[in-house]
Structure 1
Amino acid sequence: MTRVLHVITGLGHGGAEHQLLLLLRHLPAGPAPVACEVATLTEAGPVGGAIRRAGVPVHEIGMRGNRDAAAVPRLVRLIRRGGYDVVHTHLYRACVYGRVAARLAGTPRVIATEHSLGDGHIEGRDATRGVRALYRATERLGSATVAVSATVAARLRGWGVPPDRITVIPNGIDAAAFAFDPARRAAARLRYGIGRDERIAGAVGRLVPTKRFDLLVEAVAGLAGMRLLLVGDGPARVPLERLARDLGAADRVIFAGATDDVPGVLAAMDVFAAPSTQETFGLGVLEALAAGLPVLYTTCPALDDLPPGAAPDARRLPTDMDAWRAALASPPGRPGERSLVPPAVARYAIAEQAARLARLYRDGLDPDESYGGAARPPAAQEAVPT
């Protein structure tokens, strides 16, 4: 049995947090089982509760801020008591503190997954010289860095991470969880006050400027017969609400807040809109495709790293108001109709990605699968120059 401690900054609603929950549910048992525990530097939050209900222990380190160095000895003591074979870190703060603690505790293998490295920023903060220097210094303490897409792998190389320390293991998706259900659609529409035949454009994500939800608010404000369902929370919520009021569209934009029921809100939609200019993977787009929705998007490495035709119901648009308004004005199909799930979704099945991580825990980084090896994953080979 391989014993793994996952260290993450927090367990509130977020893509990396939900991806960890999904991974814990799908790591293999069988002849080479993986037993996991989780340490959160800050609060356990709603995702922490779900992890505990799944039977996985969650330890709260009680970190009070970004510079609370007292968290390191607490984490070291936890790691030493647990005698873990692997420490796997997620998100910037956890990667910095977790790698240091794991090495001080003598953990034989230290893995990090890079979920949130954008172009010029990481997890919403500017990628200053100091941020990059600290990242590189602590990255050297690990055994390998996992990029969730070929796009992220290229950015890691640009930051100076050696190619032979990087491997691409994409985020995973449980497509069956998002299968369209008319009853779920009806329940979600009732919950948000949406009429049975109203046409709904929807978006899911943290409400931050790089997601460009302002573009969707403006586009829908100029369209008759279309409402917008925005699912998520974040610092941009108040400015977005103000924008909707200023445009006279307050009744056309539904701010749903964060939710655990992403399949339900996707079922309520008729077209999924993702105008984000900064993405490391684009999991929301894949979830919408798994729900049978037509998708409009600007940036989605999960699709852009695949061959053409892998997602025929996904259309890429520039961040141009006229283009978005025109596309939303005439979405394909009738309200409630669904398309077949495209091949792109199957490429990211969670069981396969979990199995790859289990091999990495057990055997370490295979030179042939790293960016310094002779072979690369097909998507990475296309996307990253040598």
Structure 2
Amino acid sequence: MKALHIITGLGVGGAEQQLRLLLRHLPAQCDVVALTNPGPVAAGLTADGVQVTHLGMTGNRDFRALPRLARLIRDGGYDLVHTHLYRACLYGRIAARLAGVRTVVATEHSIGATRLEGRLLTGGVRALYLAGERLGHTTVAVSPTVAERLRHWGVPGPRIRVIPNGIEAPRFRYDEGRRKEARAYHGLPDNAYVVGGVGRLAPGKRFVLLLQALALLPGNVWLLLVGGGPEAEVLRRTARDLGVANRVVLTGERPYLPDPGDHAPDLVALLSAMDVLASPSPEESFGLAVVEALAAGLPVLYTSCPAVEDLPPDAAPGARRVMGSAGAYARELLRLRAAGPGERTAPDVVHRYDIACTARQLMDVYTAALAGSTPEVSS
């Protein structure tokens, strides 16, 4: 089986790193096309032996990319096309049809209740999405929450398959040595209580709320934000205005898997350096950072996390939902700090999200699609 994965870009983000990890476990020949911004994950995929092509799109309406993508699919002799993220799903489904490939699978990584990958969910965005979705075979939702959102939009239930994101849980195991190295690298005091945040530095993640909470907390509490994005400078300026800039570290984008020649601490080491992970985003499709933090044995405070909320009650005892203002987060952080460090062991629930299981489920979808088991589309 030969499959082409099409993704909008390959910067360091949850969907992008999930793709790289998935391709390490899929028993199929897979190539990747990035419509724009090949980014660090492209280099990682290339190091893994995956052929990566950068299509060079200059914007959402660069329609010249469509014939180029169709030609690439046709010349590559692909049996199946798998698309990831909104722009890639739209262009990839159309291009696959033009190339004569009718077996198209799409994964929805970032659908919120009111936003799609940060853009407001207008009627126009939804209509365009649904028009493109009908050109595919199966739409993979990364959580039951996302599946329900898709059904609410009008995607027929038989076309939706829930396959959660996955991680390599043992890779996140707490490491005292890496904790010390990561803290030393970023100037975090040994006795600091470090609150971590992981994700794209964009308004939707609400990391500004963590800065506001930090201003309410004692001087030995620090904030470690891992990620890059358009709000980085806003967060730095806000930290200065709140008088907490000396207790805030922004690491920039850090890979899930270390890259050769990169000596800065990777995501796994940075999770070891933290004492708690806080995820104040009000809308998530899955909550990958929360699952990774649980795998690192961290207590977690979150506002939205379908990966936890879709499970039975008390399935993830280390995760606690926090609603409300910065004050609510500050109170919970004080409670956790007073309780002292617990054992840094991963709860059993983490193993529900194993990347090898995710890959097996996806291969089942591929096999059924190629065998001609086409979901019915209601009129």
TM bucket (normalised to shorter chain) is: over 0.9
Are 1:96 and 1:138, in contact at CA under 8 Å, matched by a contact in 2?
Answer: yes
Match of 2:236 in 1: 241
AA at the equivalent of 1:342? P
Match of 1:17 in 2: 16
Secondary structure of the equivalent of 2:230? coil
AA at the equivalent of 2:120? D
Alpha-carbon spacing, 1:326–1:365, altered in 2? closer, same or farther (3 Å): farther
Using the TM superposition, give the Cα deviation of residue 86 of structure 1 relative to its aligned residue in structure 2, in angstroms.
0.7
AA at the equivalent of 1:287? E
Are 2:79 and 2:103, in contact at CA under 8 Å, matched by a contact in 1?
Answer: yes
1:284 counterpart (286, 289, 292): 289
Match of 1:148 in 2: 142
Secondary structure of the equivalent of 2:358? helix
AA at the equivalent of 1:3? K
AA at the equivalent of 2:156? P
RMSD: 1.9
Match of 1:362 in 2: 367
Using the TM superposition, give the Cα deviation of residue 162 of structure 1 relative to its aligned residue in structure 2, in angstroms.
1.0
In structure 2, C-alpha distance between the alignment counterparts of 1:43 and 1:351, rounded to whole Å: 28
Equivalent residue runs for 1:197-216 within 5 Å: 197-216=191-210
In structure 2, C-alpha distance between the alignment counterparts of 1:113 and 1:147, rounded to whole Å: 6
Are 1:180 and 1:338, in contact at CA under 8 Å, matched by a contact in 2?
Answer: no
Secondary structure of the equivalent of 1:330? helix
Match of 2:87 in 1: 93
Match of 1:304 in 2: 309
Alpha-carbon spacing, 1:197–1:357, altered in 2? closer, same or farther (3 Å): same
Are 2:280 and 2:303, in contact at CA under 8 Å, matched by a contact in 1?
Answer: yes
Alpha-carbon spacing, 1:366–1:328, altered in 2? closer, same or farther (3 Å): farther
Match of 1:70 in 2: 64
In structure 2, C-alpha distance between the alignment counterparts of 1:199 and 1:95, rounded to whole Å: 42
Q: Which moved more, 1:222-231 or 1:315-324?
A: 315-324
Show structure 1 runs of 5+ residues with no match.
29-33, 373-386
Using the TM superposition, give the Cα deviation of residue 320 of structure 1 relative to its aligned residue in structure 2, in angstroms.
2.4
Secondary structure of the equivalent of 1:251? helix
Using the TM superposition, give the Cα deviation of residue 367 of structure 1 relative to its aligned residue in structure 2, in angstroms.
12
Using the TM superposition, give the Cα deviation of residue 321 of structure 1 relative to its aligned residue in structure 2, in angstroms.
2.5
AA at the equivalent of 2:19? L
2:105 counterpart (111, 124, 148): 111
Match of 1:182 in 2: 176
AA at the equivalent of 1:73? P
Are 1:303 and 1:311, in contact at CA under 8 Å, matched by a contact in 2?
Answer: yes
Are 1:144 and 1:365, in contact at CA under 8 Å, matched by a contact in 2?
Answer: no
Are 1:167 and 1:371, in contact at CA under 8 Å, matched by a contact in 2?
Answer: no
Are 1:79 and 1:102, in contact at CA under 8 Å, matched by a contact in 2?
Answer: yes
AA at the equivalent of 2:362? L
Match of 1:31 in 2: none
Are 2:194 and 2:273, in contact at CA under 8 Å, matched by a contact in 1?
Answer: yes
Secondary structure of the equivalent of 1:5? strand
**Seq. identity, %:** 56
Are 1:87 and 1:107, in contact at CA under 8 Å, matched by a contact in 2?
Answer: yes
In structure 2, C-alpha distance between the alignment counterparts of 1:158 and 1:197, rounded to whole Å: 49
Match of 2:261 in 1: none
Alpha-carbon spacing, 1:267–1:120, altered in 2? closer, same or farther (3 Å): same
Match of 1:378 in 2: none
Match of 2:263 in 1: none
Q: Which moved more, 1:235-244 or 1:265-274?
A: 235-244
Match of 1:380 in 2: none
